[in-house]
Amino acid sequence: MAEETEGLPSRTDFSAWYNEVIRRADIIDVRYPVKGLNVWYPFGFALRQHTYNLLRSLLNRDHEEALFPLLIPENEFMKEAEHIKGFEDEVYWVTHGGLTPLDVKLALRPTSETAIYPMYSLWVRSHADLPLKLYQIVNTFRYETKHTRPLIRVREITSFMESHTVHTDWEDANNQVEYEIELAKEFYRELGVPIIISKRPDWDKFPGADFTIAVDAVFPDGRTLQIGTVHHLGDHFAKTFDITYEDVNGEQKLASQTCFGISERSLAAIIAVHGDDKGLVLPATVAPTQVVIIPIIVGKRGDEILAAAAELEAELKAAGLRVKTDKRDMRPGAKYYHWELNGVPLRVEIGPRDLDNKQLVCVNRLGVKTQIPREGAVESVNRLLNEAHDQILEKAENHLEAHLKHAETVEEANEVLEGNVVAVHWCGDRECADKLEELTNSALLGTEIRSKYVADDEGRCIICGKPAKPALIGRSY
């Protein structure tokens, strides 16, 4: 937890910048003795806590939080054939209790369908029990053999939000899918992170789902990161786990289900999308410290200035803001450096001149400077925080727009793919997709794209020339 004074790597070298900023800003320590298992520093933990509390507040409007066990017995885990295939290479298995081999092996949940649905089978009896909408926020595990990277590809996802809903029929479940998409949109808007929503191709959907809607962010290097998914499960799992209900006419019916997940990749997106060469840039909605007050002590008025800072801190805190005053005995410049690295949205300076003029000097994390009158500071600070949020969202939107290219031919696509995602037209045939992926060394991310930068127009397939709809290709984490 020691801060260094040399500069960060430039964000143009994104990978180096990301690893350094996560370490120096006290988010995560990767030196734990097992690769891919990381330690949250208190500052990182606080950021995580605020982010998940925001997510909880949105979910609690129409879901309830519950909690299911980590360990899934092999027989339950193995029940749904497609689902197992999707996970068999990456599940951690507990085989021993003490020195005794277990009768039934236990999987560490990679996701909790097979832990939750045996209970849903007990709980759902009648149409009156539906819809059932629960979520949990839990640690989940993947035995990653690829290169791990904090928050992006890890072996213990320490905070996976997974919502699991049950409905009377496919249509009602589909309405829930749309509801969860809107919820994900609202969540990321609160974080200032622009997203692209699309339907994953069939071969890339969640194992056992009817279809998967994915939420992607575009990183500074133009690669995408999947930061949320909503799955329509149809009645696949309901069949396997016997989730049935008695309808209004007394008939037994199969239920229809959805699940929806957001992981700590949401924090990776906050860090990667907003950060700059000085360090983190945090949205005020989740910043552990929203406002830092820096007393500028020059001349003999130190006590007076500290008293004014304390009074301001109390006033802002009483209004519900998360505020710190940096009273350390060091140059203001070194303090600015520290709080910029930590991404604090607004810095408020109080010096002798500000006292005399009954004013405050505010500088937001993007460097925008504003003088405000001391009177009514709460209102002004809240306004500046809102403006700062708009500014980081706009900056991020501009980045997304600049990195979303269009191409009509493979040659055009190859010209712009480096550092960008590219909208093309694709006929829907798997063969054309395989060829496209091979020729462009990219992945087909999705169709039915929901983004203001991609029109829902008809075109010609970039491979076969047949009538086609928009599809997105790119390189992903």
Note the residues at the interface with a second copy (CB under 8 A). Answer: 1-2, 29, 31-34, 37-42, 45-46, 48-49, 64-71, 73, 75-76, 88-100, 104, 106, 108, 115, 118-119, 122-123, 125, 129, 134, 139, 141, 143, 145, 155-156, 158
Dist. CA 121–CA 124, nearest whole Å: 6
Write down the least CB distance from residue 126 to a second copy, Å. Answer: 10
The answer to whether residues 431 and 457 touch, using CB atoms and an 8 Å cutoff, is no
Which of 170, 139, 171 has its CA nearest to residue 156? 139
Amino acid making up residue 324: K
If the CB atoms of residues 37 and 355 are measured against a second copy, the closer one turns out to be 37
Q: What does each C-alpha distance from 368 to 340, 348, 398 come to in angstroms? A: 13, 12, 18
If the CB atoms of residues 14 and 143 are measured against a second copy, the closer one turns out to be 143
If the CB atoms of residues 188 and 237 are measured against a second copy, the closer one turns out to be 237
If the CB atoms of residues 129 and 169 are measured against a second copy, the closer one turns out to be 129
Q: What DSSP string describes 11-29?
A: TTSHHHHHHHHHHHTTSEE
Q: How many residues does the chain have?
A: 477
Dist. CA 350–CA 360, nearest whole Å: 6
Q: What DSSP string describes 263-303?
A: -THHHHHHHHHH-BTTB----TTT-S-SEEEEE---TT-HH
Write down the least CB distance from residue 326 to a second copy, Å. Answer: 17
Write down the least CB distance from residue 226 to a second copy, Å. Answer: 21
If the CB atoms of residues 282 and 417 are measured against a second copy, the closer one turns out to be 282
Dist. CA 274–CA 283, nearest whole Å: 8
Write down the least CB distance from residue 279 to a second copy, Å. Answer: 20
- What are 126's strand-pairing partners? 246
Write down the least CB distance from residue 115 to a second copy, Å. Answer: 8
If the CB atoms of residues 156 and 246 are measured against a second copy, the closer one turns out to be 156
Which helix (H) or strand (E) is 362 found in, with range? Answer: strand 359-364
- What are 196's strand-pairing partners? 216
Write down the least CB distance from residue 58 to a second copy, Å. Answer: 16
Write down the least CB distance from residue 472 to a second copy, Å. Answer: 30
If the CB atoms of residues 48 and 200 are measured against a second copy, the closer one turns out to be 48
